[in-house]
């Protein structure tokens, strides 16, 4: 996946960042690149009602069950 590869490289170049959020692929992803550093793509809202939250324990992918 091109975005995951970009995220891995970018996070390795930027040790000051803990989270990189990207979109537009409509593929949900939450990958811990190194401990406590993540690539997050919440994925498709319209098709799957996915969203993400970020809390003290890190990011989390969720599905809206409204």
Burial of 22 (0-12, 13-18, 19+ CB in 10 A): middle
Q: What pLDDT, on the 0 to 100 scale, is given for residue 56?
A: 92
Q: What pLDDT, on the 0 to 100 scale, is given for residue 66?
A: 78
Three-state DSSP at 37 gives strand
pLDDT category at 24 given cuts 50, 70, 90 is confident
Three-state DSSP at 46 gives helix
């Amino acid at each position: 996946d091109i975005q995951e590869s970009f995220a891995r490289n970018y996070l390795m170049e930027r040790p000051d960042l803990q989270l990189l959020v990207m979109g537009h692929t409509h593929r949900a992803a939450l990958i811990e690149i190194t401990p406590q550093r993540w690539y997050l793509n919440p994925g498709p809202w319209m098709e799957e009602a996915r969203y993400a939250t970020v809390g003290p324990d890190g990011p989390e992918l969720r599905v809206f069950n409204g």
